[in-house]
């Protein structure tokens, strides 16, 4: 059963929305378990299986191919993501980059890069933003060694401030087109929203760190 088709491909339908909200709750619970397990095992790594599982929780029974890399071309407004046959290689490279830098660089800068890159690749039929936001949050939490206190959390704050979030993604896209990737606008947004989240609780003693030297995106 794919609810998206049953409601005439109308995501505003109350039945779609009800399941989407329940799925997000399950995805978030799963994310917290992943963070706790990663920290407990001292294995600060990301895998394709983990990313796919997070996508499955986000869109299970809403859309086809939940938790699977997309088998077709998709379009996002005026943006055309890479062809589907390129997705496996692009995602493998992204996972390698995450695991190379996750313990050595500013987690906010790495999260900003990954958040942009996953949206740019658009590896799934649906739920790409939902999945990218929680992967970015996973990176920050495990790098800092804790499930961060405060609410709303960063993924929810990004959804709340969607115009700023979209503008930051588009700014990174424009910089790539100009020949030099720049995710600083997205980094600044993440830093601001994390500060807001932590201010609602007892903030950890973490200050801004220098951004890492990130690899250029694959052509």
Q: Which residues pair with 171 in a beta bridge?
A: none
Count of CB atoms situated within 10 Å of the CB of 171: 17
Q: What CATH number has the domain bearing residue 157? A: 1.10.3290.10
Does residue 144 fall inside a structural domain? yes
Digit-coded pLDDT (tens) for 91-141 = 999 999 999 999 788 999 999 999 999 999 999 999 999 999 999 999 999
The answer to whether 103 and 109 have CB atoms below 8 angstroms apart is no
Does residue 208 fall inside a structural domain? no
Does residue 9 fall inside a structural domain? yes
Does residue 186 fall inside a structural domain? yes
The count of structural domains within the chain is 1
Digit-coded pLDDT (tens) for 1-57 = 799 898 999 999 999 999 999 999 999 999 999 999 999 999 889 999 999 999 999
At how many degrees (to 10) do helices 107-121 and 162-178 cross?
80
Range of the structural domain that residue 107 is part of: 3-68+79-199
DSSP-based three-state secondary structure for 76: strand
Q: Rounded CA gap, 153 and 39, in Å?
A: 19
Does residue 185 fall inside a structural domain? yes
pTM over the 0.85 mark:
yes
């Amino acid at each position: 059963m794919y609810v998206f088709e049953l409601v005439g491909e109308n995501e505003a339908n109350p039945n779609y929305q009800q399941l989407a909200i329940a799925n997000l709750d399950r995805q978030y619970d799963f994310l917290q378990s992943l963070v706790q397990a990663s920290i407990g095992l001292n294995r600060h790594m990301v895998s394709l299986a983990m990313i796919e599982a997070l996508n499955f929780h986000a869109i299970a029974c809403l859309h086809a191919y939940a938790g699977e890399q997309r088998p077709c071309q998709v379009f996002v407004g005026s943006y055309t993501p890479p062809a589907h046959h390129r997705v496996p290689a692009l995602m493998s490279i992204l996972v390698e980059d995450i695991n190379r830098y996750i313990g050595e660089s500013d987690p906010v800068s790495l999260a900003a890069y990954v958040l942009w890159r996953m949206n740019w690749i658009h590896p799934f039929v649906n739920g790409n933003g939902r999945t990218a936001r929680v992967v970015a949050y996973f990176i920050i939490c495990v790098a800092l060694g804790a499930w961060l206190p405060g609410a709303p959390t960063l993924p929810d704050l990004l959804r709340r401030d969607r115009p700023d979030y979209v503008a930051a993604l588009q700014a990174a896209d424009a910089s790539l087109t100009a020949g030099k990737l720049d995710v600083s606008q997205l980094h600044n947004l993440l830093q601001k929203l994390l500060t807001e989240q932590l201010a609602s609780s007892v903030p950890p003693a973490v200050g801004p760190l220098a951004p890492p030297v990130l690899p250029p995106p694959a052509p």
